[in-house]
Structure 1
Amino acid sequence: VVIPDDIIFDSARLFPYLKSKEISEVLFTPSLFEALLHATEPAMLKSLPLEVVWLNGEVNTTKLLQTARDLLPNVKFNTTYSISECGEVCAGLLDADRPDCPKFCPVGKMADFVSHRLVDTETGNEVKKGEAGELWVSGPGVGRGYTKNPAKTAEAFVTHQGTPYYRTGDLARELHDGVMEILGRCDFMVKVRGYSVVLGAVEAAIKKLVGVAQVCVVAQGEEGTDKRIAAYFCESGPAELRGRMPVSTAAIDDYGRSPVLFQELLKELPHYAVPSVFIKIKTMPLNKASTKTDRFALPPLPAQPPSAAIAADFSYDGSEAASRLVFEEVLKLPEGTLTTESNFFEFGGHSLLVTHLLSRVHALGGPRVPVADFIRAPTVAGLSRLARGEASPTEPARFLPSEVEKHSGGMTGVSLA
């Protein structure tokens, strides 16, 4: 069974779908599975016919697995590490009890038909056992390259001592017993809610829109958590030139937000790759040894404003005032930040956070609003219209998962650990 997009991203509909189809074995990304766990009552979860859950597409944190085992004690949790460019690499039973892996669950041992190298990303030399390096994979499943893209092929498909390898771009380490632990993406590609984001592509898009000399884009947050992308930049060059650029840095507020820049970047990048915070700095810190940007020396992000708080006796009535308050709580914004036409995604929302928003509305006494309907009208006023049972909007959805890859902007979808 292939679960439709409009169901798999809507936890309120996913639970009855799994139950009605009597699905006993299913594959999720960790982000989607976590959303289902948080949006469903524990007693209801235990009534699912699930026997086996496969989790792949992102790193699996020990915290998530421990939560899953508590809520679904009779379910077996497996993982597989497979890549389109080279096929299956590892598979195994998820284990959250290894003292040598306190944060991430290993992905099992390499398949018998696969060989690998773990390479230092700076020197190109193999790292010692137990140390982290970029994972290179060789074997019968390795492809020959990308059709009509020789530059990308040369970068990803390499030969070492006569053996062809695929450079996964994943940071990994081999444990003492041969089990592999995936630690996340290498420096310039990161995973955000299951999507691979090339930081250089984001930097290039910002330079195109804003008159800046240097840009450094980073992902804030540990692997396995809800990361957010931040952009640091230095202004330079004639003011006249900056004035001719599509977006001015004056549009950025004290908390690093810019709805104007967000909207313009959506024309260049998929929504999950657009930074949620922009920071102007005087000079870009450099590593003295390599003379490259020192990402670890960048200043901290602006302090987050205190978010809106909903009173214990609050009841959601479908009014725009109620919708605005729930928006602000979920997005962790100060009360009074948003207007009736404020767009959920322009203020840091994303597809998985939509599930949390709509679950919160229902928990506060409101109706269940389908994710697909909300995505077509992701504003405070739009949520109120849907909650009051008014006609669903007919405009195309801007952020449905099926639409994302049409505007990939150099990004790739879920394929790695």
Structure 2
Amino acid sequence: MGLKAYKGTIVHTPKLGAYEILEDGYIVVENDKVVGTYETLPGEYKNVAVKDYTGKMIIPGFVDLHFHAPQFSNRGLGLDKELLPWLETYTFPEEAKYKNLDYARAAYGKVVHELWRQGTTRAVLFGTIHRKATKALMEMLDDAGLGAMVGKVNMDRNSPPTYCEETKDSIEETKKFIEQTKDKYKLVKPIITPRFVPTCTPELMKALGKMAVEYGVPVQSHLDENRGEIGWVESLHPESDNYSTVYEEHGLFGKDVPTVMAHCIWNKPEEIKLMSERKMWVAHCPHSNTNLSSGIAPIRTYLENGVKVGLASDISGGHDVSIPRTIAAAAQSAKLRWVYLNDKEEILSTPEWLYLATKGGGEFFGKVGSFEPGYDFDALIIDDSSIADVNPRTVQERIERYIYVGDDRNIEARYVAGKFVPEPKF
């Protein structure tokens, strides 16, 4: 790809809580990496081709840290239920359909297209228990030019007969899945995916923990989402101190490989301390947390305790793929928590939320989510000229306005790892 330069109003958040803005500035990119950002183009780059987006904003691509790809067709359904009844009524029956590879391909094509449309350039995705269907999802993401980690789900207990694995089969299929996909694609990688403790036997969890270390593959799951779920885990594992230590005792809590846990609403102080020590990520899912009556996660507490946080749509507990609308929901939830709980959980600013939506979650993938030198050039070109206004606005006001009232029609172009990403043909 060589050297390229992009001109526009550059907005990113290298540090939590502060924008770095260059109006009519330049980003120089070599192959897939950012070389630097400049107010004027340095002399050594005077012969580099410049893609001119003057007047438009160049921001990092959005990162979604938790998305159930097979649940996409269920968006907006059953959201008057709590977590466990919702799983039984809607989720498990839908995911069972992905045994049919033709059905899976048809449904996953819509998922990939929607990620592209909403400007989500990287995502951490759950598949189903079906290895072939999950591999098909990875292939489609790669064809589309998006970055992702994708997991073949594991569940061998407390699941419907039509959607449950034998322990041995679950382990063997996961090994095959990892071996077949680990080095196949540049930007799409496998991730170990125990659904959550209630649906995974100790034997299966131990095997997955060992597998993660053996293959050097990250881990994703759910943690402390719902009070009923937490009580269920306590009844299944009375020998463990808490939900987190169940994962810890089975090698699935970030000790040796990067790990992201979704929700983390009701974590105890000792769990937060352990997460900090293990350098884990929280996938914050505000839409889902309110839709399923789960609660409001203490995001400021996580950040102050050194726990990494990214944002997530959590389709289909969450109903909206858009990360900007997830930012708005996260901010609104945090304000309600501050007002009603009075627990000194200070609300976050808009640049802090943008950081979590880009660099905060992006670093689960490595150097992703910022325009600092050495980071992958994942970018969105935002044309906000159609957003009705009669007043001149600062760049800070423009980015906040786009987050709250803009949509996919304001995204003029998408880049992932230095490459322009056209609309997928699915």
Q: Which TM-score band (shorter chain)?
A: under 0.3
| Greater helix proportion | 2
Identify which of structures 1 and 2 has the higher relative contact order when contacts are C-alpha pairs closer than 8 Å and 6+ apart: 2
Using structure 2 for the length normalisation, give the TM-score.
0.27
Larger radius of gyration: 1
Using structure 1 for the length normalisation, give the TM-score.
0.27
